């Protein structure tokens, strides 16, 4: 224990004296939590809409005003002919074309139904498909209001949609737990690896190799500081999520910190493993970058695991972030408990034990 305390004191002094690391640990989570949730979003706004108004009635004018007033749409103009609006779609000046047929006003007043045609730009599939959905909702709401104004029964909606756990479908609430995971991957995986290889390049590790310091003590001295960094960064990120975005865990903080502890242990162990098999900083960065990319792309951070092909789903079972992603989103948005997610916690515990045991075993003292 005395040896471990001395080594930890050395690591702390090196960390504090570094002109870069303390700033990175503070500024990196601030930038990620305050900037990325606003720019990395699947919420589509300002969809360019061109309207072909063949009806020229008060009902069609009301629909046009409703489209222009929505923050989801930007009205690019009202056209008399469909081919003119379609030309705007071809040129990229519009994302969606709405064609209001002659007789739309009579249809809203209880007359024969006239179909409104919506054409979307399929090149930008996300913007086009969401634009169609938003316009369908706007059209249905407008028709219901027009019928209610005339004392008619509103149109019956065959489907009633209820969004559980995230009622407003706010994409930031879905992404913020993922951003916390990315912070832990980068800081608790990269930093221990770079720290260890940095000592190899400067030659200071050779001084430790000729001492009676055990492999376990040396490995723990490298890992423990970054375990502390991981918990500090996670706490800062959770505070920012609560203060800036009003997002707090629906479940218990204990469930979040338990999962974070297991994941931090795992990622720091992976970092030390990469460093033990590398001779230079450049080698370590390439190896860690490879694993970080795999973790981010295939763990469900960005795209759902359920949407991947069968072979990819099988591969994700061997990626620790997959289980942490599931835990964080379930605890944050659904309020799930440790008992309900016990399989994911057990998987993370296995990864934590294996990675740290491998990290200690792969370190070779060369005197």
Contact 236, 194 (CB under 8 A): no
Residue of 72, 100, 70, 73 whose CA lies nearest to 85:
100
> CA distances (Å), 60 to each of 48, 93, 99, 142, 351, in order?
18, 22, 10, 9, 61
Residue closest to 333 by CA, chosen among 162, 166, 161, 163: 166
pLDDT digits 0-9 by tens, 209-256: 666 677 777 778 878 888 888 899 999 999 999 999 888 998 899 999
Lowest mean pLDDT among 86-90, 203-207, 263-267, 282-286: 203-207
pLDDT given at position 256: 94
281, 198 Cβ separation under 8 angstroms: yes
101: which DSSP letter?
P
Give CA–CA dist 211/112, Å, rounded: 92
Average predicted confidence (pLDDT) for the chain: 81
Task: Mention every residue, 6+ apart, whose C-beta is less than 8 A from residue 280.
Answer: 197, 200, 201
Q: Give the phi and the psi of residue 246 in degrees, each rounded to 5.
A: 70, 25
Long-range contacts of 251-255 (CB under 8 A, 24+ apart): 251/330, 251/331, 251/332, 251/334, 251/335, 251/336, 251/337, 252/331, 252/337, 254/338, 255/327, 255/331, 255/336, 255/337, 255/338, 255/341
- Residue 253: predicted pLDDT: 93
- The single residue listed with the structure tokens 């930038």 is 31
Most confident of 72-81, 156-165, 201-210: 72-81
Q: What is the pLDDT of residues 8-23, one digit of tens each?
A: 787 778 777 777 778 8
Do 93 and 82 form a contact (C-beta atoms < 8 A)? no
Banded pLDDT at 346 (limits 50, 70, 90): very high
Q: Return phi, psi of residue 214, to 5°.
A: -75, 160
Token pair of 333 as six digits: 């948005």
Q: Is 133 exposed, middle or buried (0-12, 13-18, 19+ CB in 10 A)?
A: middle
Per-residue pLDDT for 125 more than 60?
A: no
Alpha-carbon span 7 to 208, nearest angstrom: 10
CB within 8 Å of 160: residues ≥ 6 apart: none
| Domains of the chain, residue spans | 2-40+170-362, 47-149
- Give tens-digit pLDDT for 353-366: 999 888 878 876 55
Cα 225 from chain centre: 27
DSSP result, 107-174: HHTTSS--PPEEEE-SSSHHHHHHHHHHHHHHHHHHHHHHHHHTTPPPPPPS------SSTT--HHHH
* Cβ-Cβ contacts under 8 Å for 46 (sequence gap 6 or more): 71, 72, 73, 74
The conformational region for residue 203 under phi > 0 = left, psi -120 to 50 = alpha, else beta, is left
Measured CA angle at 204 (ends 199, 207), to 5 deg: 135
Cβ contacts of residue 305 below 8 Å, gap of 6+? Answer: 298, 299, 312, 313, 316, 322
pTM: 0.71
Token pair 């407008």 is found at 142
113 vs 261, more confident: 261
CATH architecture of 47-149: 3-Layer(aba) Sandwich (3.40)
Backbone angles phi, psi at 96, to 5 degrees: -140, 140
| Burial tier of 321 (Cβ tally within 10 Å: 0-12, 13-18, 19+) | buried
The one-character DSSP state at 189 is I
Per-residue confidence (pLDDT) for residue 339, from 0 to 100: 92
Helices (H), the chain: 2-17, 21-39, 58-69, 82-91, 104-108, 125-149, 171-185, 191-202, 204-209, 215-245, 253-276, 281-298, 310-316, 320-329, 342-362
């Amino acid at each position: 224990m005395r040896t471990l305390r001395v080594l930890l004191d050395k690591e702390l002094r090196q960390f504090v004296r570094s002109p870069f690391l303390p700033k990175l640990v503070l500024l990196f989570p601030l930038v990620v939590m305050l900037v990325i949730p606003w720019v990395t979003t699947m919420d589509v706004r300002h969809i360019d809409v061109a309207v072909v108004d063949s009806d020229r009635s008060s009902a069609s004018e009301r629909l046009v005003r409703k489209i222009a007033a929505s923050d989801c749409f930007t009205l690019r103009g009202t056209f008399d002919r469909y081919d003119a609006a379609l030309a705007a779609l071809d040129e990229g000046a519009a994302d969606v074309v709405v064609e209001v047929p002659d007789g739309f006003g009579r249809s809203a007043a209880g007359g024969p139904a006239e179909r409104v045609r919506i054409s979307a730009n399929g090149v930008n599939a996300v913007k086009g498909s969401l634009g169609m959905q938003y316009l369908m909702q706007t059209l249905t709401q407008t028709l219901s209001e027009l019928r209610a104004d005339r004392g008619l029964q509103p149109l019956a909606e065959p489907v009633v949609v209820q969004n559980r756990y995230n009622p407003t479908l706010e994409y930031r609430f879905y992404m913020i737990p993922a951003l916390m995971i990315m912070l832990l991957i980068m800081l608790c995986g990269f930093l221990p690896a770079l720290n260890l290889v940095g000592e190899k390049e400067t030659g200071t590790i050779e001084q430790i190799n000729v001492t009676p310091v055990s492999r376990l003590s040396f490995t723990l001295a490298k890992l423990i500081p970054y375990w502390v960094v991981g918990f500090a960064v996670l706490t800062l990120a959770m505070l920012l999520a609560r203060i800036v975005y009003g997002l707090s865990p629906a479940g218990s903080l204990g469930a979040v910190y338990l999962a974070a502890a297991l994941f931090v242990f795992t990622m720091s162990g992976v970092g030390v493993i990469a460093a033990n098999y590398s001779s230079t900083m450049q080698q370590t960065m390439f190896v860690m970058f490879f694993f970080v990319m795999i973790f981010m792309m295939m763990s469900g951070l960005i795209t759902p695991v359920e949407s991947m092909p069968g072979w990819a789903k099988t591969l994700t079972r061997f990626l620790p972030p997959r289980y942490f992603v599931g835990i964080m989103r379930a605890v944050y948005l659904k309020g799930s408990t440790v008992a309900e997610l016990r399989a994911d916690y057990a998987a993370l515990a296995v990864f934590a034990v294996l990675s740290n045991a491998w990290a200690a075993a792969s370190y070779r003292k060369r005197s």
